[in-house]
């Protein structure tokens, strides 16, 4: 199962994403002295699904009940 399929089919994962406001929650990228604020919306939930399966990431840490 790919991460995209996992993100579409797993109910617990989808609920956790809703609780943490993903994929719309902004995050910051620090590159030396520059800081950029980016939204998850262009990344989709496949990346978060991979992190969920490795027990890392925002949805896993803050969204689980």
Domain ranges of the chain: 3-63
Write the pLDDT tens digit of every residue in 23-65.
Answer: 777 777 888 888 888 766 666 788 889 999 999 988 899 998 7
Q: How many angstroms separate the CA atoms of 1 and 30, rounded?
A: 32
For position 43, what pLDDT does the model report?
65
Q: How many angstroms separate the CA atoms of 17 and 32, rounded?
A: 30
Write the pLDDT tens digit of every residue in 7-19.
Answer: 889 999 989 988 8
């Amino acid at each position: 199962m790919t991460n995209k399929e996992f993100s579409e089919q797993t109910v617990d994962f989808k609920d956790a994403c809703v609780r943490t406001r993903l994929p719309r929650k902004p995050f910051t990228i620090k590159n030396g002295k520059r800081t950029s604020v980016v939204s998850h919306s262009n990344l989709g939930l496949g990346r978060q699904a991979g992190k969920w399966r490795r027990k890392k990431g925002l949805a896993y840490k803050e969204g689980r009940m």
